[in-house]
């Protein structure tokens, strides 16, 4: 994992992995391990919001590949995802 950022309802990850890794298995492993770590690290919050729930993450995910941009450009994009939107559409 090269970078990550989160919002209230989703996360952005930049992952550089081998092309022979099945994305579904990678995502499943990330969700399993992160859920376990979050439940351990934030025990009080986990008990309050996720007590007796069999899952932490939803079953869905979105994956996109990026070509023609540098890793630094991707990192800047991810870092700016939770910034307030300053730009407005032209009228």
For the stretch 53-85, pLDDT in tens is 777 888 889 888 888 888 888 888 888 876 655
In total, the chain counts a number of residues equal to 91
pLDDT surpassing 60 at residue 11 = yes
Cα 86 to Cα 28, 75, 80, 83: the distances in Å are 35, 19, 11, 9
HEC profile for 20-45?
CCCHHHHHHHHHHHHHHHHHHHCHHH
Rounded to two decimals, the pTM is: 0.68
Domain range annotation of the chain: 3-79
């Amino acid at each position: 994992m090269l970078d990550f950022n989160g919002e209230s309802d989703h996360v952005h990850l930049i992952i550089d992995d081998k092309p022979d890794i099945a994305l579904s298995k990678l995502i499943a492993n990330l969700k399993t391990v992160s859920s376990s770590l979050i439940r351990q690290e934030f025990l009080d919050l986990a008990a309050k919001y996720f007590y007796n729930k069999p899952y932490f993450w939803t079953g869905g995910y979105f994956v996109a590949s990026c070509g023609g941009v540098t890793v630094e450009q991707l990192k800047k994009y991810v870092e700016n995802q939770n910034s307030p939107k300053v730009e407005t559409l032209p009228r």
